[in-house]
Amino acid sequence: MVQLLEGAPVAKRIRDEARAGAAALSPPPTLVVLLLGNDPASETYVASKTRAALEAGVRAETVRLPSGSPPEALLDAVAAANRDPSVDGVLVQMPLEPGHDPSRVIDALDPGKDVDGLHPENVGLLHQGRPRFVPCTPAGILALLDHYGVPLSGRRAVIVGRSALVGRPLAALLTARDATVTLCHSRTRDLPAVCREAEVLVAAIGRPGFVTAHFVQPGATVVDVGINRLGSIDDAPENLRRSGRIADAISAKGSAIVGDVDFDDVSRVAARVTPVPGGVGPLTVAMLIHNTVLAAQMRRAGGVDGTS
């Protein structure tokens, strides 16, 4: 029977550790979230991050910029948070509206306050094997695998998706743990065959139910990073339309959240799999709070020194 790798107990431990770290600091750590426009999904994510921060004893402030604000207004808000000595962590909620250059905004962040771990300086430190702030979702995935005792050293890991938020930093983390890593993308030839070589398979491609049992080696560990909302069973790919569980959720709630993995199909062959929701999701927010407390500890200790 497949083992569910649930994120809640791991996230609770990380949040509890962050709460203890925050309680030891005076004044408490402060996180500023910059939110451009009024995208409903972004509003929901910011609310969950703010709530988690407050529960951990971290001050949280959301700076809202109206929809249509020019790039200079967002860059000015980033500069203000960088200069503010009371602010320990700064996060710019993505995606940005058209007309804004995400790379320019990320480059403008103070790397010592970049709790999303996306500034080029922090990316470089990660790939040099001396991470400061690790992007939250990859860090959460590693914590999840460690919690459930999934072996990594010498194992074959395949990541489907090469984004700067998940795929690339996760590849660096797994490589540092002596896994042999293949990073797949839209031009990977015979993707199912490559995935079947994986003892640890991570799906982060943003396509509901894309990974089926045909992609999975029997006994593999499968980590599903996808979060896809289906408003109708007609929005689902053919393989998910057969799922009574998804159809029932849509009928009862008007929508269903599914991952990039066909959970029912993959559960027939995998040894371990993360559920969606309830797997990786809770860990992303928990690691954000961890990074904020870490940033505050480093600043109180006399500045950022490039170690964790």
Strand-pairing partners, residue 230, are: 256
For 35, the 3-state DSSP assignment is strand
What distance in Å separates the CA atoms of residue 179 and residue 154, rounded to the nearest whole number?
Answer: 5
CB 116 within 8 A of CB 133: yes
**Which H or E element spans position 120?**
helix 120-127
CB 171 within 8 A of CB 184: no
Q: Which of the residues are catalytic?
A: 49, 93, 116
What distance in Å separates the CA atoms of residue 308 and residue 295, rounded to the nearest whole number?
Answer: 9
What distance in Å separates the CA atoms of residue 170 and residue 262, rounded to the nearest whole number?
Answer: 22
What distance in Å separates the CA atoms of residue 307 and residue 130, rounded to the nearest whole number?
Answer: 6
User: Beta-strand (E) ranges in the chain?
Assistant: 3-4, 30-36, 59-65, 89-92, 156-160, 180-184, 200-203, 221-224, 228-230, 256-258, 272-273
Q: Write the DSSP symbol of residue 181.
A: E
CB 90 within 8 A of CB 133: no
Strand-pairing partners, residue 160, are: 184, 203
For 17, the 3-state DSSP assignment is helix
Cα 197 from chain centre: 24
Q: How far is CA 17 from CA 21, 86, 175, 293, 294, in A?
A: 6, 22, 26, 10, 11
